[in-house]
Amino acid sequence: MLKQVFLLKRRAGMTMEEFKNYYENHHAKFGELFLTTARRYVRRYVRPQKNPLTGQVVELDFDVIMEIWWDSKEDSKAAMKKATEEGLFKLIYEDEEKLFNTHDNRVFTVEEYDTDLPRSVMRSPS
């Protein structure tokens, strides 16, 4: 299984609530149009927390982790082909200017390997 990961920063001057609202109610709809061969499409909004040792809150370079899971490279390529042929990438690019701080967000692919753990290993430590 493949997973694409996008680390995305909201546009300057936009609150986190405005960002989430616009992303979920508008921008995420683009994914629904062409990610028909994807296994999952998820957005995870981050909230920086205090470091328990220093008490310091460090601002992150991103506000959301967007993930797309694919069963194969071919499934990913099929979705990208569809988005290109239907002109969706141009619309997405234009919409990103309303939402993200830059088009230079970090993007990478990871290969996932799951390990089936016995139930005794999955229990919380005593």
Residue-wise pLDDT for 82-126, tens only, equals 999 889 999 999 999 999 998 779 999 998 888 998 876 666 555
Which domains are delineated in the chain?
2-112 (3.30.70.100)
Kindly state the helix (H) or strand (E) to which residue 108 belongs, with its residue range. Answer: strand 106-111
pLDDT-based confidence at residue 79 (cuts at 50, 70, 90): very high
Give the pLDDT confidence score for residue 111 in this predicted structure: 86
Per-residue pLDDT of 4-24, as tens digits, reads 999 999 999 999 999 999 999
Closest CA to 22 of 34, 7, 40, 10: 10
Give the pLDDT confidence score for residue 123 in this predicted structure: 64
